[in-house]
Amino acid sequence: MISADEAEIDETFGNRLAARHDELEQLFMSLYDDRAALEELEEAMAQAYAERPADLKELDAKREADPEWYKRGTMFGMTMYTDLFAGSLRKLANRIPYLQEQDLTYLHLMPLLKMPHPQNDGGYAVEDFTTVDPTLGTNHDLANLTKKLRAAGISLCLDFVMNHTASTHEWAMKAKAGDPEYQDYYFCYDDRTIPDQYERTVPQVFPNTAPGNFTWNEEMRKWVLTSFYPFQWDLNYRNPKVLVAMLSNALNLANLGVEVLRIDAVPYIWKELGTSCRNLPQVHTIVRMLRIALECVCPAVVLKGEVVMAPKELAAYFGTPEHPECHMLYNVSIMVNLWSALANGDTRLLKAQLDALNALPENCWFVNYLRCHDDIGWGLDEPKEWELGIDPQRHKEFLYHFYEGSVPGSWSMGELYNYDPVSRDARSCGTTASLCGIEKAIYTHDRSSYVRGVERDLLMHRTMAFLRGFPMLNCGDEIGQLNGWDYKDDPDKADDSRNLHRSKFNWRNAEKRDTPGTLQHELWEGMKGLREMRDDPAFAPDAWVTTWDAHNDHVLAVVRQVEGETLLGLFNFTMDGQTAYLDSNAGVNLPWKVDLTPYEAKIIRCGE
């Protein structure tokens, strides 16, 4: 006989599932037509709910009553590597006061599940989705950290790598040993016939460092699909066992206290011959099923998608208000356009991209950032560039050479990543401070250039934080961390220039954050200003946000309005003084003329 409490728990899960069961069944059967596998998924969901800790169930109830909690203006995030910041999960827990000093509400830790060493693509080659990597701690350490973070008002985000596993994952090892059941967890072929058909239509992710989409495995004597690196085997979601296992892994992370799951490379997860294997309809079916599973088991948990695609592709990943998918996405396109505007002082592309994003439905929400663990890929809106009289290829080459520091007049110090001499494509690496000119100014002992570098750094952060969505800092940006060139001395890291901005956190420099006159103090106070700026009614989830014509292409103008209150943001992307000329209308009354100093971000509360 079950107790009254157990009956109540069963009823809670049962009611949630009952409300969604018909849709879950329809979606699952549309892909697999396998009722037994559907029952396995529902059993896994029920088991995960039964195992969910009581304090997390309390959080579920709180979040169900406040479903837009992640859209509040007070949301303020940071991303970091556990080992680079603190060494281990246990030591990171002791550093929570440092995070609280910054009023963080969101912490994204880079992948920390069991991974092979050294080849793990920064943790994105997962060897075991159920276990923390021993170099970082244990599952107990992770659960303890999430509990302490919750007490501090901080939600933990972890990556959920859906597209692939490490080639050393248990499933892959069984496939290599010849087990046909586990070979069907991947895409394995005896010869090049089908791989060659895929190669005709599927773009390469890393044409320079990992050309092609297939890798020959000698142990298995088969070709295996590896969209990213040879040691990352793409999962076969045509197999329902893969979906059930991966959704179970996601629920396990949620039960360890993870509140945000960043689903990695989500556009890639469904493969279809004759297509690009990107953004296929089945991807959305799978993401919707993941959302349903979370809503039934752990509704406190939200999904953040990594979708590096054009704005027109993004709305689909949010689903609809009736059938939602991701709660929020990385704002990759705005990150790229911010850096483009800073290099050439031209805000037209940035404004056009903001207009495209602001035109998306209200359920579309973004995490805004300048730098993260990854490179800057120069995926700009080429049709818009042509319309503005900009040659896309020449512009791209200018940008990556500018941030490499090889263009005359460049202030930046960075490096190229994945340069392709055939397509002349490349990406850019470096920390925010170094890309903004602070490192070069320090190296050359140029005081005026140093001042300009700090102004650029703060301008970029203030612009990013003013936009629709919520801001996320890259750990170290709050103290002006510079490039870590010593990565070249480590043979395990030297061939990946992204390690330039993946250096150990400089705690000695962090201690200077309270010392006036230091770089660390100036940037620390600047980030404090971001949080104070966002503690305003104009940053409510339902605020109307739009760009405005400043009649000056060097200045970005953004208006925020809620309940008749209007906040105007003006951002000068040049090292010269500029003037913005602003038209008003019946609903928005703005000053007609505003002067801006070099790289100034000016926030003005406007009268009705």
Residue numbers annotated as active site: 264, 306
Region of 361 (left: φ > 0; alpha: ψ -120 to 50; beta: rest) is beta
Residue 106 phi, psi dihedral angles, 5° rounding: -150, 125
β-strand partners of 601: 571
Q: Are 129 and 113 in contact (CB under 8 A)?
A: yes
Q: Which amino acid is located at 536 in the chain?
A: D
What distance in Å separates the CA atoms of residue 374 and residue 262, rounded to the nearest whole number? 14
Of 235, 229, 126, 116, nearest to 175 by C-alpha is: 235
Q: What is the three-class DSSP state of 38?
A: helix
What distance in Å separates the CA atoms of residue 235 and residue 245, rounded to the nearest whole number? 11
Please give the structure tokens belonging to residue 175. Answer: 């496939």
What distance in Å separates the CA atoms of residue 324 and residue 168, rounded to the nearest whole number? 34
Of 260, 317, 329, nearest to 286 by C-alpha is: 317
Q: Which helix (H) or strand (E) holds 140?
A: helix 139-151
What distance in Å separates the CA atoms of residue 5 and residue 11, rounded to the nearest whole number? 10
Q: How many helices (H) and strands (E) does the chain have?
A: 22, 24
Strand pairing report for 128-132 and 113-114: antiparallel
Strand pairing report for 544-548 and 555-562: antiparallel
Axis crossing angle, helix 519-534 with helix 447-466, rounded to the nearest 10: 20
HEC profile for 166-217? Answer: ECCCHHHHHHHCCCHHHHCCCCEECCCHHHHHHHCCCCCCECCCECCCEEEE
What distance in Å separates the CA atoms of residue 188 and residue 215, rounded to the nearest whole number? 10
Please give the structure tokens belonging to residue 111. Answer: 């992948």
